[in-house]
Structure 1
């Protein structure tokens, strides 16, 4: 039998090397290696890039075909290690799978039971705490089927926060939220990242810019970038310009609110260059084939 031994605490909470997973002929992850530690790390990538597959592996909901993994000092590819990780994990999947007949309190209480909080009084206090943290004090007795999409997201986040997990994995947590709700969630994620490891998968580059110390970009099942957000923006340095009309040869080109066009790609001679953003760097990266220049 394989015995899992926790490593001494270090600055790295996750170490993955060579993770590969295939579904039939499709390669979802292709030799993915990465490390990250305390704070909020953003995960960016197009739909179908492999982000959710990676999160499911880190959350012990899927097993890779190849590669090694350490999460919070444990090996989740072993039975004992998987159990140890789950005890310290908070996971918010894209589809939490609510039982809509439950109230918000009942759903989070059910998750707390699964997390082995057996003392009823202490467990209920914990459920009230996390529901309060996400602003659902007044709705904890409401049935989930009566809640808005944003409130359901908050219920799912409260369930992920039960037990004060050391690792929090959030898969598109702000999808479907209005700007005010997204701002509230950002404030909460920033606070959570001060005390634990948070991995945030999102399509919102502004979330990455405002929250994340590090960012990982996955495209076509491979890690294309890992580093600080400023480093991602720098990939587009000298490749963003403005003009009066659309440029046919640009990687991306769109009309801005003031009527001018913003372009990403190879600027023509004499073009008025602009300071790149994280979104510019991201678009430059994912529109360039892996392992080579544009052709």
Structure 2
């Protein structure tokens, strides 16, 4: 899968595409974001967190679909909390939301073409060439005349990603882009995302820790509306260093424990003396981090 066809390549721009300081948002008594501060540069950044942690709320703010109650934000050098800044960001942004809001009567081509019109691609011939380019990039050449209602869930997800790629954006904000895709499709999309991250900022929210390990230069973990970790995937895995071990039987005191395909059990938590330690994975570090976060919150309540 390649995005090279007819796509202009940009030189490396500013080192920081997104800078958020103290973003806070509340829905009634619920705090969705609690002072989120982060910076995103060129490359793929993975966003991890439990369901309800605030990931989608953060992505919607970065994509100018939602405004925070407090905090400051710069996206691609503009302030999206102002009218002119918001328009400038949207012209250079690609956004894949959790629910793209398809019109089922549209074909794949018509839907992406509609998005291209909203992105101010007014010349019909050039616009249609761009629509064909992005549909090809996501592997939908043969389905571009198929109506949305006749496509599988995975194909609909690819249509939504194609729409996000319209105009070769400088920033991509992708909310669960691989949901509904089979393993082969996810592998192809990893190739696509890696290529996209060579010269632009890509923020990828996912529950697939293997995608983060394979693709991301940076990973951010958000839980209970706050950033709990920001660093490399290796650094996240390192949080579980010395906390992963194997044994013949399940360890009831472990944070997580399961039988592997070898018949042995893998445990994450506090190992007993003399345990056979294993190298930690990014998933192990994530489990340790979220558990410590929960323990800190419970202890302070």
- The TM-score range, normalised by the shorter chain, is over 0.9
The answer to whether structure 1 residue 272 and structure 2 residue 271 are counterparts is no
Which residue matches 2:123? Answer: 119
Residue 177 of structure 1 aligns with which residue? 181
Q: Indicate yes or no: 2:237 matched with 1:237.
A: no
- Return the alpha-carbon distance in structure 1 between the equivalents of residues 15 and 34 of structure 2: 26
Shift of 1:245: 1.3
Structure 1 unaligned residues grouped into runs of 5+: 1-8
* Secondary structure of the corresponding residue to residue 46 of structure 2: strand
**Residue in 2 aligned with 1:41?**
45
Give 1:75's match in structure 2, choosing from 62, 76, 79. 79
Query: Residues 293 and 162 from structure 1, CA distance in 2 versus in 1: closer, same or farther, beyond 3 angstroms?
Result: closer
Task: Select 2:171's aligned residue among 167, 171, 195.
Answer: 167
Q: Which residue of 2 aligns with 1:22?
A: 26
TM-score by length of 2: 0.93
Displacement of 1:244 after TM fit? Answer: 1.2
Cα distance in 2, alignment partners of residues 157 and 127 from structure 1: 12
Give CA-to-partner distance per residue, 1:172-230, whole Å, 9 cap, x none: 01111110111111111111111211000000000000000000000111101000100
Report the Cα distance in structure 2 between the residues aligned to 1:15 and 1:94, rounded to whole angstroms.
Answer: 23
Taking the aligned partners of 1:182 and 1:118, their CA distance within structure 2 comes to 33
8 A Cα contact 2:96 2:161, kept in partner: yes
- CA-based RMSD of the aligned residues comes to 1.3
CA distance in 2, matches of 1:251, 1:225: 19
Q: Which runs of 4+ in 1 moved over 2 A?
A: 289-295
Structure 1: distance between partners of 2:264 and 2:140: 43
**Scaled by the length of structure 1, what TM-score is found?**
0.95
How far 1:292 moved relative to its partner? 3.9
The whole-number CA distance in structure 2 between the counterparts of 1:18 and 1:294 is: 23
Aligned-partner Cα distance in 1 for 2:254–2:260: 15
SS at match of 1:12: coil
CA contact (8 A) 2:17 2:41 kept: yes
Which of 188, 193, 211 lines up with 1:189 in the alignment?
193
Report the 3-state secondary structure (helix = DSSP H, G, I; strand = E; otherwise coil) of the residue aligned with 2:32.
Answer: strand
What count of residue pairs does the alignment treat as equivalent?
287
Higher mean alpha-carbon deviation, 282-291 vs 15-24, is at 282-291
Q: CA deviation at 1:289?
A: 2.6
Q: Is the 8 A contact 2:23 2:71 kept in 1?
A: yes
The SS at the match of 1:289 is helix
Decide which of 197, 200, 203 is 2:204's aligned counterpart: 200
Does residue 106 of the first structure (1) align with residue 115 of the second (2)?
Answer: no
Report the counterpart of residue 146 of structure 2 in structure 1. 142
Q: 1:64 aligns with which of 63, 68, 80?
A: 68
CA distance in 1, matches of 2:269, 2:298: 10
Residue 90 of structure 2 aligns with which residue?
Answer: 86
